[in-house]
Amino acid sequence: MLSYQHSYHAGGPADVHKHLVLAELLTLLTQKSRGISYLETHAGRGLYDLASDDAKKTNEAAEGINALHLSDCPLAKTLQNMRQKHGGNAYPGSPMIARDILREQDMLHLMELHPVEYRILRQNLMGDGVSLHKRDGYEGVFAITPPKPRKGLVLIDPSYEIKTEYAQVAEFSHRLMAKWPEATILIWYPLLEAARHMDLVDGLKLPFIKHEVGFDLKDGQGMTGSGLILINAPYRSDEILQRVEKQSADILRPLA
Ligand SMILES: C[S@@+](CC[C@H](N)C(=O)[O-])C[C@H]1O[C@@H](n2cnc3c(N)ncnc32)[C@H](O)[C@@H]1O
């Protein structure tokens, strides 16, 4: 089932939560000169236009990135770079954030299954150091794991259109960690009134850090907040989460 389109939600509060943490993490992981690998199971198209019909239909960015005044932080730098290149309404997806922060010695591997999203992703991201795959993200990431360089980050960011996907993400994370124990994994999930994310959280039988925030979306369709799970969190990840909370205090409420 591929009916989900991220262009309706780009720049919304959930994106801001995920992308603030992702940009900080990538900055932290690239402090040393050794290269890293960045893998995504669900890449999307990489770059969004907040003035597009899709984005205007939900207007989530008005309650997300457009309601924030980001001071100096990795996401603010990427946003500025993208807007210089692509205009004032551009908003970077996770692949573009990664490409902006990563260096020559690093590698990106991006999976996207939707034919239209994949075509646009290719237009936006094709280049040296980027490997693009039109295939199922779980199957694709597992197949190329462990990658070279061996140090790296995997972002798992599905649309959870199928209820069983929460449990699938937990099961996939176990398999991936068994095959690539050095990996850091970042998982995004929605907080819904139905609390379906508990299948993921309870299903994870390995140590992790969890970061959840609440927000009010006019048309949130039952989504009350956003959650992130970090497996094999790098040293000083707690400082990242504190900085993210400070940066996003105007739109995101940290949950206990
Ligand atoms: C939430 S969006 C990704 C957003 C992106 N990570 C970002 O933050 O900019 C999920 C994407 O996964 C794609 N998708 C859905 N099922 C997939 C699968 N089994 N394998 C790979 N991609 C899939 C959808 O087409 C959609 O573009």
**For residues 230 and 186, is the Cβ–Cβ distance under 8 A?**
yes
Checking if the pLDDT of 221 tops 80, the result is no
User: Does residue 157 carry a catalytic annotation?
Assistant: yes
Cα(5) to centroid(ligand 1), Å? 8
Dihedral-angle region of residue 180 (phi above 0 means left; psi in -120 to 50 means alpha; beta otherwise): beta
User: Directed axis angle between helix 74-86 and helix 94-101, to 10°?
Assistant: 100
What is the whole-number distance in angstroms between the Cα of residue 242 and the centre of ligand 1? 27
Query: Is 133:111 a contact under the CB 8 Å cutoff?
Result: yes
Quick check: 208 and 230 in contact, CB under 8 A? yes
Answer whether residue 246 shows pLDDT above 90.
yes
User: Three-state SS for 32?
Assistant: coil
Render pLDDT for 116-166 as a digit per residue (tens, 0 to 9): 999 999 999 999 999 999 999 999 999 999 999 999 999 999 999 999 999
The packing angle between helices 115-125 and 94-101, to 10°, is 20
66-82: buried (b, 16+ CB within 10 Å) or exposed (e) per residue?
bebebeebbbbbbbebb
Ligand 1 cavity residues, CB under 6 Å: 2, 4, 6, 18, 42-44, 93-94, 111-114, 117, 136-137, 157-159
Residue 194 burial (C-beta neighbours within 10 Å; 0-12, 13-18, 19+)? exposed
236: DSSP letter: T
pTM higher than the cut 0.85: yes
Please determine, for residue 187, whether its predicted confidence score (pLDDT) is greater than 80.
yes
Confidence of residue 1 (pLDDT cuts 50, 70, 90): low
Catalytically annotated residue among 15, 100, 106, 157: 157
State pLDDT tens for residues 42-51: 999 999 999 9
